[in-house]
Amino acid sequence: MVAWKLFANGETPESSDQKGDKFVGKYYVKFDQEYKKQIQDLISSGISEEEAEKQAPILLQARETLQKWETKDPDTLALWEMMNGWVYKGFESSYKTMGVSFDKLYYESNTYLKGKDEVDKGLETGAMFKKEDGSVWCDLTDKGLDQKLVLRADGTAVYMTQDIGTAILRFQEFAGLDYQIYTVGNEQEYHFKVLFLILEKLGFAQAKNNYHLSYGMVELPEGKMKSREGTVVDADDIMSEMIETARSIAAEQGKLDGLNEEEKTLAFDNIGIGALKYFLLKVDPRKGMMFNPAESIDFQGNTGPFIQYTYVRSKSVLNKSSNDLTNINLDLSLAESEKNVIKRIYDFPTILEESAKLYNPGIVANYIYELVKDYNTFYQNVNILKEKDVELVNLRLSFSKLTSQVIETGMGLLGIQMPDRM
């Protein structure tokens, strides 16, 4: 907000032809650049670095703006609502492309009030204490940590205040909630360790079971992503690139010949976004990884498109047959490749349990890949529709049906849609 007021000259997302979240993010970067510049100017004038970081004019303006916002100054609130609207409109567009939805949204602009109320209760119970300057802290030295600021001396909230409020609202609004899982980067491990301990001190015993799914950072061949330095790789750009790459490869290999333009567009979206999601999710979330767009959309190997193609193949076999699969003879002699498919399908429930227990979607992703490999081996080595024995045909069609169902279910759990044709 401060950077926009100082440098925008009335510019808006519409006038700059930018998505709202990208537009506001530009001024987030501008704020950080100006803040660093002012620190260096102050240091050059003889002020220590520590004092310069506290006295930078743009930081003081930001603190003043925060105070005005918390006291509901009309002009400050109006500007905040306008800029927030820009951001959320941009987010909605990105989430729609990504196929992401939420059951309930908690806004920090509301939850900080709940957090402040809980801090006040903590002062009454002794879970919190106030220092001479008026700031409020939680002492975690008995847990082997340090003291944690939960309210500034001027009465304004910090990130921890907001997170306390959000966590408690969830516990209160969802009856029977045993614990919460926070999917946040590994740079925030200490923050969540502190949050969970504070929640326990405030009387929410179930917080001891809270879990921080600490994921590793994603890098591109071009290097690390740093939003404050303006070198962030935009999710919209990646998704657009993936969809266009899918379009290019499919056209080159003739994968979608015969589809009309609407069907092709839907298929490109499913293949491109599916490739992106699968490539990210197949890796243990705790590990850092290198995301290679070209590699992720390959139609061979451990990729989303390869799995989608096998799914379409299995469905195609079923669509070519009208056989009755309600009575399958299970006493038939089976080839090794058929046994491998059956064994793999049988493992699916166990895989789901293991994935949930370890908070690792990569277990499901790699299981689906192994199933796909087994099915392709079976498909290439055993006749299905050309088999003369009807009972064997029906048994093999049942393999195809179960395989397609497991692939669709497993990939669906990863948020990946299956195309009808490829």
* Full 3-state SS string of the chain: CHHHHHHCCCCCHHHHCCCHHHHHHHHHHHHHHHHHHHHHHHHHCCCCHHHHHHHCHHHHHHHHHHHHHHCCCHHHHHHHHHHHHHHHHHHHHHHHHHCCCCCCCCCHHHHHHHHHHHHHHHHHHCCCEECCCCCEEEECHHHCCCEEEEECCCCCECHHHHHHHHHHHHHHHCCCCCCCEEEEEHHHHHHHHHHHHHHHHCCCHHHHHCEEEEECCEEECCECCCHHHCCCCCHHHHHHHHHHHHHHHHHHHCCCCCCCHHHHHHHHHHHHHHHHHHHHHCCCCCCCEECCHHHHCCCCCCCHHHHHHHHHHHHHHHHCCCCCCCCCCCCCCCCHHHHHHHHHHHCHHHHHHHHHHHCCCHHHHHHHHHHHHHHHHHHHHCCCCCCCCHHHHHHHHHHHHHHHHHHHHHHHHCCCCCCCCC
Domain ranges of the chain: 1-100, 102-215, 235-413
In CATH, what class is 235-413? mainly alpha
In CATH, what class is 102-215? alpha beta
pTM: 0.82
pLDDT tens per residue, the chain (422 residues)? 999 999 999 999 999 999 999 999 999 999 999 999 999 999 999 999 999 999 999 999 999 999 999 999 999 999 999 999 999 999 999 999 888 999 899 988 889 999 999 999 999 999 999 999 999 999 999 999 999 999 999 999 999 999 999 999 999 999 888 999 999 988 899 999 999 999 999 999 889 999 999 888 777 766 544 444 444 567 888 888 899 888 888 777 776 777 888 888 888 899 999 999 999 899 888 888 788 777 888 888 899 999 999 999 999 999 999 888 888 888 888 899 999 999 999 999 999 999 999 999 999 999 999 999 999 999 999 999 999 999 999 999 998 999 999 999 999 999 999 988 77
